[in-house]
Amino acid sequence: MGYGMVITLWHNGEQQYAGNNEFLIINIRTLMTPTTPTSTINSGLTWKPWRFDLRTLAGAALAVLLLRVLLGLWVLPVSAAYPETELEQQVGLLPGDAPLGAWLQRVLLMPWMRYDALNYEKLILHGYSTEQGTTAFHPLYFLLAGPVAWATGGNAPLALLLVSTLASMVLCFLFARYVAEVHAPELANRAGWLLLLLPPSFILLAPYNEATFMALAVGSIWAMQRERWWLAGLLGGLAALTRQQGIALALPMAWALVTMFRERRLALWHIGALALIPGAYGAFVAFRKLVLGDYEALLQAQGPLEFLRNLLVSPSSEKIVQGQRIAWPWEGIIDQTWLVFTQPYSYYLAFDLVLGMAMVLVVVLGWRVLTMHERLFGLAIVGLSLCYYNGERFPLLSLPRHMLIAFPLYIVLAHWFAAGRRLRWLLVLGVLFHLLLAALFVRRGWIS
């Protein structure tokens, strides 16, 4: 049993051409539907499974590279119409406007240099700076990109995109294999393709740390499922050095160790494996406070919640978004809803609210089909995302991106949307909305 993609269509033994609309519909249908070596659609068209089985490294790599090319082509006209960086403004899309290297840099890399990607570029080129607010970013992602940038003559955008692309390949491979082993083989590719195609997953291929984090998180949860505690702790610790939400991995691991204690199977060294996750987070906090001098706001904190916020998240993040604080989960929902209906041109607030809350509901309502490790991790991500208030202007800023890392939601969707009309509608609407968000991201009309 495998998952196929339409490459060539056959009818009555002769090769046929399918128009664009027909090809898209069949392509999406066969992409997500289990097939045997020769499967047949009711219309008489047959197809052969191709090499996009995400459970193989080759299939995952091909899928990611295909999306890399398609998304790159999609955002180019937006980049030309709304150039943001200096190179985009100086160099056009047509070859010959600049030397080949500069033209390739402008066409392939610069459309993705938006928002936090620019901060990661600063980190690679200049290191941490409390004045620029970059101490809010955990170090692993840009540290991985640093040697690549050095090897490419200081090309930070190229290094960041290469790391994100490779991490996306690893993520797709691990996620599909994990779903096949823990849930069911027939769900593996469906869940993987839903992760790749639904919004806002284009961010996995942007110069952001989500792909790196999710690959580590999936690996950590999988290691917990297999009771390989030191591997789970190591990957969880690396995830905590990639994003603040890495601390969420400590919850399912702690639950698993408590279960082992009740079954009288817990050894003392298992607790040491668990300590790797908060230990890694704590080491970065100590480095930030002691080496970077990011401690003044901690001493001036008014109340325990502000102290906790300034401890776990660098106070210099205020230089990027002002008014951040820890809040009750309903505060952000209520305030964002009010802004949607009272502020002009608030479409971006509506996108964050509707898409983000839809993803939250999938995690919560899909409780029954998930393992306990997945439930606890998913709910921890939900809690961290909703309880972090991003200021009065956009309380739920980037909620869809923060919920993207709750990978169990794609397992739930794979259970809910089996092959058929509902799945096709989900994919068609999801892909269209996904392309819209990618274009708005490059346009700087939506903060992912």
Render pLDDT for 87-116 as a digit per residue (tens, 0 to 9): 999 999 998 878 999 999 999 999 999 999
In a domain, 92, yes or no: no
167 lies in some domain: yes
Q: Are residues 173 and 235 in the same domain?
A: yes
Q: pLDDT by residue (tens digit) across 34-87?
A: 443 333 333 333 333 345 899 999 999 999 999 999 999 999 999 999 999 999
Residues 435 and 403 in one domain: yes
98 belongs to a structural domain: no
The token duo for 425 is 């509608």
Identify whether 70 is part of a domain: yes
Q: What is the pLDDT of residue 130?
A: 85
Among candidates 389, 253, 201, 372, which has minimal Cα distance to 313?
A: 389
Question: What is the pLDDT, as a whole number, of residue 63?
Answer: 96
Report the Cα 119 to chain-centroid distance in Å.
Answer: 18
* CA–CA separation, 423 and 198 (whole Å): 12
Residue 419 maps to a domain = yes
What gap in Å lies between CA 435 and CA 62, rounded to an integer? 20
Q: Provide the domain count of the chain.
A: 2
In a domain, 52, yes or no: no
Pair (125, 252) in one structural domain: yes
Tell whether 34 and 121 lie within a shared domain: no
Looking at the structure, tell me whether residues 43 and 62 fall in a common domain.
no
Over residues 309-340, the pLDDT tens digits come to: 888 888 888 888 889 999 999 999 999 999 99
Question: Cβ atoms within 10 A of the Cβ of 341, count?
Answer: 9
165 and 265 together in one domain: yes
- Which residues constitute the domain of residue 429? 57-81+113-443
Does one domain contain both 136 and 283?
yes
Q: Are residues 384 and 252 in the same domain?
A: yes
Cβ proximity of 149 and 158 under 8 Å: yes
* Same domain membership, residue 19 and residue 162: no
Model pLDDT, residue 51: 54
**Per-residue pLDDT tens over the stretch 112-129:** 999 999 999 999 999 998
In a domain, 132, yes or no: yes
Mind spelling out the 3-state secondary structure of 230-292? HHHHHHHHHHHCCCHHHHHHHHHHHHHHHHHHHCCCCCHHHHHHHHHHHHHHHHHHHHHHHCC
Checking if the pLDDT of 22 tops 70, the result is no
Same domain, 266 and 376: yes
228 SS3 class: coil
More confident: 285 or 31: 285
- In terms of domains, do 9 and 77 share one? no
- Whether 33 maps to a domain, the answer reads yes
pTM: 0.88
Residue 411 has pLDDT above 70, yes or no: yes
Residue 20 has pLDDT above 50, yes or no: no
Do 254 and 125 share a domain, yes or no?
yes
